[in-house]
Each structure stands twice: as C-alpha cells, then as structure tokens.
Amino acid sequence: MDGFGALLRRSRLAAALTQRELADRSGLSLAAIRDLEQGRSRRPKPGSVGALIDAVGATGSAAACLRAASAAFPAPAKRVETTLGPVRVSLLGPLIVRRGAAEVWLPAKARALVARLALSANATVPVSELTEVLWSGRLPKSPAGAVQAHLSRLRAVLGPGLLCRGPGGYRLELADDELDLAEFRLAVRRARLGEAVDTLHVALRQWRGEPLADVPELRGQPLVTALAEERVQAALLYADAAAATGRSGRVLPLLRELTAANPLHEPLHARAVTALAASGLQAEAFALHERVRTRLRDELGLDPGAELAGALRRVLQPSAVSVAATPGPPRPAGLPPAPHYFTGRREALRRLDGLLEAGEQAGTVGTTVLTGATGIGKTALALHWAHRVRHRFPDGQLHADLRGFHPSGRPVEPGKVLASFLSALGETRIPESFETRLALYRSRLDGRRMLVVLDNARDAEQARSLLPSGRRCLAVVTSRNPLVGLVAADGAQPVTLGLPSAAEATELLTARLGQDRALAEPGAIEEIIAACGRLPLALAVTAARAVVDPATPLTAVARQLRHQRLDGLTAGDRHADVRAALSWSYAILDEPAARLFRLLALTPPGEVPTETVAALAGTTAVREPLGALVRARLIEEPSPDWYVMHELPRAYAKELATRAT
C-alpha cells in the first residue's frame, strides 16, 4: 500500500487543489500539508485525517485507503528549514535554483543532478540513471561513490532535508509551490474543471523557453522531451477554450511561436488557422494553411488530416467562425529569428525579466537600454529575450536595425524606420513629413501592448523618436554607446553586458562544437577562450571555423589564434569578423581619439591611470578622447581615471599603429 502522503497528494491532485487550498478547506496549516505529503510528519491525528478526507471529497474505498494508510504512517526524518528561505526550482526554461530570494550558483554536474531529480520530484531516481546523466558511458572508477560525493556537495548548498536517500537511489523533495513544473501541471488540471482561459494563460506564462536548454547532460532525455509535448497539449486546450469564449486573439502569439517550433504539428496549425480567422486575419489564415499543406506534401507525402482540413472549411464559412464585426488592427511579428546557439547570460536575463515584471506591476513598462562592447552579444541577448517574452505582448512586435555602427558610416534615418513601422501596423498611406509620421506612429501604439526592438543605435537621439509613448509598450534598445541621454532624460533602464565568465564561454563553445569534441580537448578549449578574450563574437567565429573543418584538432585552432590573432577570427562575412566589428567602432572616432587608441596599444596589459596616458600622448588634453573611446567601447573605465584595453581591441590597435608607422 502507498504511504499516506502519496495517497493524500494523489487525492488532492485529482480534486485539482493546491496545497494551500487543501489547507484552507481542512483547517490544517500549509506547513502541515507539506510535511504530510512529503513524509516528514508523524502519524496524523484521526480528526485531521477526517478533515482531509472531507476536503478532497474522498468517499468509499478511497476514503478507506486514506484511513488505513494513516494508521500505518511511519515517523519520518524531519526536514530542517534554514534562515536562507525555501528552495524553488524552475525547469520550464533555463534551469534556475533559488534559495529564498537569491539564485544558487551550481557547477555543471550539480545542475544536471538537480534538474534530473526535479523532473521526478518526490520520487526516487536510481543511482544508475544519475550516473548515466553525469558521465554518459564514460564512468569513473566508483560511480556510486562519485554520485554520492556530488550529492553531498549539493546538499551542503541546498540545505538539509531536500535530498533524501531512497531504495537504490535518491529523491529531491519539493512542494508544489517549490517547482514550476508542478504548478504548471496543477493549473492544467484545474483548467479542465473550469475557468480554463485565465488559468491556462497564467500556467503557460510559466514557460521561459526550451526546458533545461542550458543543461546539455539532459538533451534528448525522454522526460525533458515530454515536457515540450505537455506545453503543446496545454496550448491546444487554451486555444479551444479561447475560441469557445470568443477570445482567440489572446492565444495567437503562443500559437505563432509553437507552430514555428513544430512545423508539421497539424493540431497546432489547425488551432492557429481557426484563431487567425476568428481575429479577422483570414489572409494570414489561408497563407498558414497553404504553408503547412505544402510542407506535409513535400516532406511526408501526405495531405492535411481531418482536423486541419476542417479548420480551412471553417475559414471558408465565416458563419462558423466567431469573426469580430470590426477586424482588429494588424499584429506585426517583426522579430528576426532567435539565435540558435544561445547560452549563458543568466544574470542579464534575470535583470531583463525583473525590469519587465517591475514595469508591469507599476503599470508602465518603458524602455530598456542594453549596452556593451563590440561583439559582446547584445543583439543575440536582445533577440533571445524578446522571443522568450513576446507572448506577453499580444499586439505584436516591431524590430529595426538602426545600423548605428555600419561600415558605410550612415545610420538609418529615424523617418525611414517610422515608415517601415507604420506599414507593418497597417498604414497604406505614409505621411511625407517626419513629424506627421511620428505622431501617427505614437497614436497607433497608444493603448496597445507591443514590443519594439531597436538594435544597434548610434546615439540617444537616433533612438529617441522611435520609442513608443504607450505605457503598456516596451522598447529594448541595443548600442555600443551607453546612451546616457536615454537614461537621464527618458527614464530608460540600463543593462550593461560584460564579458561572459570562463564557464559561460566554455558553455558557448561546447554548445557549438558538440560535447564530445569539447571534452576530448579541454586544454585547447581553455586556450581558445583565452585567445578570444572570452568575447562571444570571437568564440562564435572560432567555433564556426572549427565546425566546418572537423578534421582539424582544436589544438591546431588554438595555435593559429596564438600566432595570427585577428586573422583567425574571421568567417569570410563582415557580420562574423572581429577585425571588421572593431573597425566600425574605430571609424566613428575623431582624430585625437583615434590617435590615442593607437597609442594605448603600447601600454602594458592591465589598468593605466590618466597620468600615464597623458605622458604617452604628450599632452594633458586626454580626457575628452578617452571619453570617446569609452563611449565606443574600445576601452573601459573600471574606476574613475583608470582605463583598461582588452586583448582583441589591443591587437587591433597594434595593427593600426604598425600601419601608421
């Protein structure tokens, strides 16, 4: 017979109750419910058992089983809470482990252990499976002892009472509100009993991207793969509930995201076709149906099934679709594709998430400025995060590359961007004057909830006129320039992107090269990271060259970088060329700043004071050119009047200095 805690949890879930709701109904405390379900409480009192049976609505044999299990309930080990607060594990996106308000940093193998145990929370996972997750066939001499050592270190970080030994393995004990996956599943169960649209809307917002995408040890693991299907099934339920209540527009952003990720999933496409038609977007509905029909024929040799064909028939018969009397405004989906190999940047992602949450709570979302050096990964982060949160902007997304540091030297004029945005918003007649375009743009965004991404801004003035005026819209601006003007005058929130850590750089290379190749030459990986100065663009270019030439050992790649630094950091494309990227920042400098940049290549590595720079330049008038170099992100000012030039800008400056002599 199952223990009382397992039976109680099963009965609660069958009744679609949270632990807090069960506590309220039974008169017990929330802590008591948690202790009972997780086996930490002593034998429950008969009166408490009766109250719990009534609260979950158990009758007959179900009630008898609960009473019998309570009589045989053992005295378990007590879970000890610490002052750090409860643990919360988030699996529905990159792995996040928190202790109270603080995120817990864990090394790679500990992250893999937590993720695998949390996937089967409160159930024992065999040691053999944990061993396979950690070492994938390349076992240490004593696998069980090695697993136990990792778990001991993990227990010291998480606190006592969470990691428990079970028959042949270990389990991670988590309450429902300590695991986002448990909350999601409970919300889906509740949605099937009523209030489906709002409940599923909240449940699906738990998802922050591909589950556990940053835990490569679990890539392809069946439990992880199954999570994606759970999301799809919840989305289908959401779409049906929204259609039944005339609110199909709410589910469109999610359906667009999922159909793009599942191009041959007919039920998803059928819901998307129906939702588009119900929102007055018949042309887009026809186009989507035609795309999936062609794909099914070309890739699988199949015709659309009954569900997808039925969706098209409903589009052709408007009376069968709840089309609004007045079609809503267009919902542009202008974001470029999300970067395929995005890794790391957890702190920046948390900062962006926090700013969005704070803005939503305050009722005004505003502007976020994402700044950093050349090649630091600003665009990749902005697009990755924008795709992750676009479902929270149901009225659409706009994107523009402002080409602020383009090799042509000519940034895009804001008036041209406004014309493009107005066209995406459904305007067929674009006003001639800039002022009229701006007024029309702001009026079209007023009252709507949209995301506007302005990439690669030259300065604050270029970006300012493109900022939405609506309180519910969010603008994300990226630039090498700190854009202090937007922060000071427009209330923008700055997020500065620095170099990734060595661990994040390793993660980036491993994702692109493949785990087997990276693990085979760990020393070469370290050398490549050092030669690239941990710059994401340089790492990406190096990985790309290594991938297209798999026969070349990574040690040879590292050796080339040592002897031909910038020559080894080009992929034959100006967008994937470190020297070219640095040259665009150099091109905007005036002559005093350009001369000082070349001279700084002569300084020793590390921080140098203003006085040393002045002596090198032969003049005391160095503050203004130094400021220009900082704004161009060619050097940094870690503390007042102290400056540092990183390795790759230094290598470029040396080339320029050699050329000038």
CATH of the domain at 613: 1.10.10
Tokens 């067929």 found at? 428
Cβ pair 28, 48 in contact under 8 A: yes
Domain termination site, one of 497, 527, 549: 497
User: Within this chain, do residues 566 and 476 fall inside the same structural domain, yes or no?
Assistant: no
Q: Which of 443, 475, 497 is the last residue of a domain?
A: 497
DSSP-assigned beta bridge partners for residue 570: 577
Alpha carbon distances (Å) from 235 to 61, 254, 536, 625: 35, 8, 35, 55
Taking only the tens place, the pLDDT of each residue in 141-192 is 777 778 888 888 888 888 777 888 888 888 888 888 889 998 888 888 877 7
Say yes or no to pLDDT of 477 above 90: yes
pLDDT band at 476 (very low <50, low <70, confident <90, very high): very high
- Check which CATH number belongs to the domain holding 11 and give it: 1.10.260.40
Query: Structural domain of residue 58, as residue ranges?
Result: 4-71
Question: Mean pLDDT, to the nearest integer, of 481-490?
Answer: 87
Count structural domains, the chain: 4
Do residues 489 and 356 share a domain?
Answer: yes
- Provide the 8-state DSSP code for 325: S
pLDDT for residue 453: 95
Do residue 622 and residue 513 come from a single domain? no
Nearest to residue 652, comparing CAs of 579, 587, 581?
A: 579
pLDDT of 526 > 50? The answer is: yes
272 lies in some domain: no
Per-residue model confidence (pLDDT) at position 417 = 92
CA distances from 314 to 162, 236, 311 (A): 52, 17, 5
Amino acid 413 reads E
Tell whether 532 and 650 lie within a shared domain: no
**Residue 630 binned pLDDT confidence (cut-offs 50, 70, 90):** confident
Answer yes or no: do 509 and 558 share one domain: yes
User: Among candidates 509, 248, 464, which has minimal Cα distance to 369?
Assistant: 464
Structure tokens at 380: 């990749």
Give the pLDDT score at 43.
61
Instruction: Looking at 15-142, list the stretches that DSSP marks H as alpha helix, in order from N- to C-terminal side.
Output: 19-26, 30-37, 46-56, 60-71, 108-119, 127-135
pLDDT of residue 573: 56
User: 549-588 burial string, b = 16+ CB within 10 Å, else e?
Assistant: eeeeebeebbebbeeebbebbebeeeebbbbbbbbbbbeb
**Lookup: tokens for 129:** 């499976």
Given a cut of 70, is residue 84 above it in pLDDT? no
Check whether residue 458 and residue 534 sit in a common domain: no
Asked if the structure places residue 283 within a domain, the reply is no
Q: What's the whole-number mean pLDDT along residues 57-76?
A: 62
| Pairwise pLDDT comparison (577 vs 510), residue with the higher score | 510
482 and 359 assigned to the same domain:
yes
- Give the whole-angstrom CA distance, residue 579 versus residue 374: 10
In a domain, 448, yes or no: yes
Question: Residue range 354-369: average pLDDT?
Answer: 82
Q: Rounded mean pLDDT of 536-564? A: 80
Say yes or no: 459 and 424 in one domain. Answer: yes
Q: Look at residue 618 and tell me if it is in a domain.
A: yes
Instruction: Answer yes or no: do 571 and 632 share one domain.
Output: no
The residue that leads in pLDDT, 80 or 261, is 261
Establish if 113 belongs to a structural domain: no
Q: Of 35-39, 75-79, 198-202, 247-251, which gets the smallest average pLDDT?
A: 75-79
- Is the confidence at residue 137, as pLDDT, over 70? no
Let me know whether 354 and 487 are in one domain.
yes
Angle, helices 536-548/578-587, rounded to nearest 10 degrees: 150
In the listed set 48, 71, 94, which residue is the last one of a domain according to the structure?
71
This prediction has a pTM of 0.50
Predicted confidence band of residue 584 (pLDDT cuts 50, 70, 90): low
Instruction: For residue 449, give the DSSP letter.
Output: -
Question: Residue 455 domain-assigned?
Answer: yes
Residue 598 lies in a domain: yes
Q: What is the mean pLDDT of residues 547-559?
A: 81
Say if 198 falls within a structural domain.
Answer: no
Query: What's the burial of 294, exposed, middle or buried (CB within 10 Å: 0-12/13-18/19+)?
Result: exposed
Quote the CA–CA distance of 8 and 54 in Å, as a whole number. 12
Burial (0-12, 13-18, 19+ Cβ within 10 Å), 6: middle
Query: Bridge-partner residues for 399, per DSSP?
Result: 453
Q: What band does 319 get if pLDDT is binned at 50, 70 and 90?
A: very low
pLDDT-based confidence at residue 107 (cuts at 50, 70, 90)? confident
Q: How confident is the model at residue 237 (pLDDT cuts 50, 70, 90)?
A: confident
Same domain, 438 and 569: no
Q: How many CA atoms lie within 13 A of 344 on its CB side?
A: 24
Contact by Cβ (8 Å): 569, 561: yes
Same domain, 493 and 354: yes
pLDDT at 44: 74
* Best CA proximity match to 154, nearest among 163, 164, 144, 142: 163
Q: Which helix (H) or strand (E) holds 451?
A: strand 451-455
Weakest-pLDDT range from 1-15, 246-260, 368-382, 417-431: 1-15
Q: Are 140 and 191 in contact (CB under 8 A)?
A: no
Which residue would you say has higher pLDDT here, 111 or 142? Answer: 111
Write down the pLDDT at residue 454: 94
Name the band, by pLDDT with cuts 50, 70 and 90, for residue 603: confident
3-state per-residue secondary structure call for 152-174: HHHHHHHCCCCEEEECCEEEECC
